[in-house]
Structure 1
């Protein structure tokens, strides 16, 4: 059964908005300014306020709404098959530190919920990485050994709570899942109680490092701070060239109601079949909300509506009694060596910090980042600080991923600038609800025809580094395939690293008229 709205909308976002916050007064001066109010930014700001710092949290849109509002909200230290990779790139000690830091973050959420009395639907459940084919089960069994060697309570099993057989699975006990916005709203309320200040509708476009650092907003306001944290998901200030070490990807999510008796009892993920992730959440009397994620793709890859259809089909085949009610999409960035970047913004930075590259595991990693950065700024050092340090560079170990990441981006970056690059055809071929990049003289124009038949024309050049955007037909957005910037049909920035909207083109003529 299907009752999914035409436009994607996250289940978590239905919880509603926190009280609105105005932009900051010009000339605001604080100890720490945190740019970005997703889970990493909110947790960092809260940890710092709890440590006695005066904090300003600056968000371009609404708090806990962007990537964090479109998560699947799993708190897990089992991240696919990451521990085999970490043993190769960071050694056994690095893998063990990674496991400790993620487990510490999960325990921290549990402790904070108890301390503040937060009701955020927190549940302790096992996490699984499973395989349906015997070939992939070999990799999964090796991951069980690698995860166990890293210190996780991991085992290899052949039976799970899923309603279909598996060839094998890693099982890690005492992981968690929660409602992210309920948790973060409680942190925001406590942040303000501790003197922290929250500002929305505040896009930061300039950073001058110094003592103090100085931020400039889109409307010309300034904020001074001794320390600055860039927690914008993809860094809007990239002074350590992280753009070369991050690869953006999107994943689709469908959700729907199932009988509580059909709850598979855990959080599940398989790397097979373009990834499939399964979990449930509390919903109603005798019901659970089934949440299924998958169909990983690079922003701008197109055919998103087809991908939604494949994910819905997989879900209804595996869970025949589900009544689908929601669909949405998430975006994250894969780091070259599999470890997020949390620490100094660049090698010579003393008061500017960055957090990025969660690779789909931003809930536990965001909490971890908040603790790590707060410790760093208050003169402490956590045991895993060096593991996550963005200044790290291991040329031989990172080179394969570095080359792979940049091959596609370089192809777009160079190819989109060649004079013979054509558009997709005339604007008259664009049907209602669709969009395409067309040529208009020497310009490439991003054209969307809305449901009423009116055209919306924009420059097709991403305002980050100038690659040509592509249309996402499943979400009706424009996406940059180089670094993942996303724009609305009228050009507004939905997701960075771009900080400026696509230029509107007012003299474009509809060749259908």
Structure 2
């Protein structure tokens, strides 16, 4: 299948304004690191509360996870409520639902206050199954979700152009254009001592001082909202799994788009409409483990065209997020970071509500306001012990990549034989080399060791990047960091 070049529909159809220029990095009350939904929402709320805020983004605002989502604003996060009830009890499940609904309600009310045209529309959300074997599980989930406080029910039929065995419907959820929404919030931040700086990658935080590529910044409080926390002191890299999904979008030939938002329990395909487009997400896999990423994207495109009668694929992009070992995000005080270091991560592919909730929760904590959901999301919680098997399994997979990828590199062959557009990891004496021959025929070689903890990167032929299978760091073809926890680029291989 012919696919277009990677391009997010959200970023192609809107973009945030370039922030006003700033001389140096003036001291502020709060430094917020990360220009996605969690960082922007947190900075907006703190600025509105009277704090001076610096919002620092390593690349461009919304150029990371938030600009590559499907943008469902829903408290239905797959079949999560039966699991939360079974693992933590009905109280935690109800608290989780209440927090997600509060985030949704805040977006609805604040978008009206600011008069933001972000295509916000109320939609019902569905988790469905095509196979009858999931019916009992869906019914249990519908009961647990309703008990948790959602307007949930089990239904037999949905508005999809193919039959389903059953679904959990949650009424009154929403979808929107995330870039238009967050660009409007970001526009409210600069001024009165607050500012935004793009291209300012944070390298370290110590004693209220943030070291960045552009210099040092002092702040009383620091919020790390960088998708994957780059500070290893909280060991978040070992408490989460980096997960990547592929996305395609196209227009049905008959012009009919589904009413509602959908997630398949069988295949993890996610579906929603955006105007005349149908947006489909799928091919769920751990970052850096797919040797056939382009083929997977083509497969997803064929599935979307076949199921929804698309005239072709007009946009394609990829999304990445982190899943915690106990299924709950980490939002709150940074473990081992003192009283003024905060973190928001582990949104589990549901960043629109979880990222918004992170802003509401962290801004409350910094302002000294009690928040009813702080305990549930506490990054220092001990519930990871209840997920010891999952924790051990994930880190065993990391260890397997750390050792096994070095063995595979030994038999990878000779990089000089690469054809234009081809890439791979090779052993050259004692060195591990990430090599790619560009379309003009020039061979570009980098160190293949991720600069986070030294795992071996793998070539992503779908997005032309080097991805780390251990903790999800991603690098551009020239070695530039695309996403952490790594903060330093892959080094050039000298060939010596």
Class of the TM-score when normalised by the shorter of the 2 chains: over 0.9
What's the RMSD between the two structures over aligned residues?
Answer: 1.7
Report the Cα distance in structure 2 between the residues aligned to 1:414 and 1:43, rounded to whole angstroms. 40
Query: CA distance change for structure 1 residues 395 and 77 in 2, over 3 Å: closer, same or farther?
Result: closer
In the superposition, relative to structure 1, how do residues 376 and 259 fare at CA in structure 2: closer, same or farther (>3 Å)? farther
Unaligned runs of 5+ in 1: 283-287, 509-513
Query: 2:161 corresponds to which residue?
Result: 163
Structure 1 window deviating more from structure 2 (406-415 vs 360-369): it is 406-415
Residues 463-509 of structure 1 deviation map (CA, whole Å, 9 limit, x = unaligned): 0000000001111110000000000111000011000000012437x
Partner of residue 217, structure 1: 212
Report the Cα distance in structure 1 between the residues aligned to 2:248 and 2:454, rounded to whole angstroms.
Answer: 32
In structure 2, how many angstroms separate the alpha carbons of the residues matched to 1:445 and 1:437? Answer: 6
- Structure 2 distance, partners of 1:44, 1:238, is 22
User: CA, structure 1 residues 205+396, in 2 after alignment: closer, same or farther (shift >3 Å)?
Assistant: closer
The residue number in structure 2 matching 1:280 is 273
Number of corresponding residues: 495
User: Compared with structure 1, are the counterparts of its residues 493 and 247 closer, same or farther at alpha carbon in structure 2 (3 Å cutoff)?
Assistant: same
The alpha-carbon deviation at position 416 of structure 1 amounts to: 4.8
Tell me how far apart the structure 2 counterparts of residues 426 and 248 of structure 1 sit (CA, whole Å).
30
Output the TM-score relative to the length of structure 1: 0.93
Match of 2:347 in 1: 358
Whether 2:379 is the aligned partner of 1:406: answer: no
After superposition, residues 272-351 of structure 1 pair within 5 angstroms as 272-273=266-267, 275-282=268-275, 288-301=276-289, 302-347=291-336, 349-351=338-340
* CA positional deviation for 1:322: 3.8
CA shift at 1:87, angstroms? 1.1
* Aligned partners of 1:131 and 1:167 also within 8 Å: yes
1:389 correspondence with 2:378: yes
The question of 1:266 aligning with 2:260 is answered yes
In structure 1, what is the Cα distance between the partners aligned to 2:475 and 2:22? Answer: 25
Q: Which runs of 4+ in 1 moved over 3 A?
A: 21-27, 414-418
Instruction: After TM superposition, give the deviation of residue 429 of structure 1 in Å.
Output: 3.6
Q: Distance in 2 between matches of 1:22 and 1:417?
A: 46
**Is the contact between residue 247 and residue 316 of structure 2 (CA under 8 Å) also seen in structure 1?**
yes
CA contact (8 A) 2:254 2:309 kept: no
**Do the aligned residues in 1 keep the contact of 2:75 with 2:97 (CA within 8 Å)?**
yes
* Cα separation, partners in 2 of 1:411 and 1:225, compared to 1, 3 Å: same
Once the 2 structures are TM-superposed, how far is the Cα of residue 114 of structure 1 from its aligned partner? 0.4
SS at 1:309 equivalent:
helix
Contact 1:140 1:168 in 2 (8 A): yes
Residue 4 of structure 1: how far off its partner (Å): 3.5
What's the offset of the Cα at 1:222?
A: 0.8
Task: Report what 1:66 is aligned to.
Answer: 64
**C-alpha distance in 2 between matches for 1:158 and 1:231:** 40
User: Structure 2 matches for 1:487-502, cutoff 5 A?
Assistant: 487-502=475-490
Asked whether the equivalents of residues 423 and 437 of structure 1 are also in contact (C-alpha less than 8 Å), the reply is no
Matched residues in 1 for 2:494 and 2:411: separation? 19
Unaligned runs of 5+ in 2: none
Post-superposition offset of 1:421: 5.5
- Matched with 1:285 is none
